[in-house]
Amino acid sequence: MKEKLIVALDVSTREKALRLAEQLWDKVGAFKVGMQLYNSVGPDIVKDIQALGGKVFVDLKFHDIPNTVSQASRIITGKGAFMFTLHASGGKEMMEKSALAVQETAAEMKITKPIVLAITVLTSISQEVFQNEVGIQRPIEDQVVEWAKLAQNSGIDGVVASPKEISAIRKACGPDFIIVTPGIRPLWAASNDQKRIMTPKEAVQLGATYLVVGRPITAQEKPGEAAQKIVTEMEEGIHA
């Protein structure tokens, strides 16, 4: 079950990131490197974490014209990323060209193809914000499902979505479609800025493929123990 747990390294220095990676590499499945860390210390952080034995989920949420995103996808593939993200709202052509670029690059370099994930609706966005500020009037769950189906039809491996939408995505996209869920908060942790959240046990029971957890692990005095507590909660979800 630990392979399903991804730790978000939402820190700003190489030293903090590698300290956490050293403490956690054998207790979790992968590490998420997002915009904060990547833009603070540069792309070499990916290989630094890999050198410690950790798999890296590069979460830069690409969203641009199809050619730009497909070329960026080639670069991230060449870095040996375990996973990376682009926005489903970028459209079918953008996702199709990126999926093809990843397949071609992995074949040319004879490396394992990364999992390509489409971002749906960020877990920090509530229904009120979605309607009044983003300007989309349909329920978040309906929009998430539409983007998940579009991603699947474009050759994308899975989506990043709130745990609240897991069941609807599973129903629409089937058992093999990958669902990565941030917004995971154990009962003993603060929700912080996440709005659509769920416990590790609940998310696993609903069918999440991977869970992304940041501060409930990284902000703890003993992050390894916190990670193990979450893995235990995930195992309870499987056996419930």
**Catalytic pick among 2, 16, 61, 149:** 61
Q: Is 201 annotated as a binding residue?
A: no
Active site residue 16: no
Q: Is 39 annotated as a binding residue?
A: no
Q: Is 66 annotated as a binding residue?
A: yes
What phi and psi, each to the nearest 5 degrees, are found at residue 84?
-155, 170
Q: Is 229 annotated as a binding residue?
A: no
Q: Is 61 annotated as a binding residue?
A: yes
Q: Is 215 annotated as a binding residue?
A: yes
Q: Is 59 annotated as a binding residue?
A: yes
Q: Is 100 annotated as a binding residue?
A: no
Q: Is 185 annotated as a binding residue?
A: yes
- Indicate which residues carry an active-site annotation: 61
Q: Which residues are annotated as a binding site for substrate?
A: 10, 32, 59-68, 123, 185, 194, 214-215
Q: Which residues are annotated as a binding site?
A: 10, 32, 59-68, 123, 185, 194, 214-215
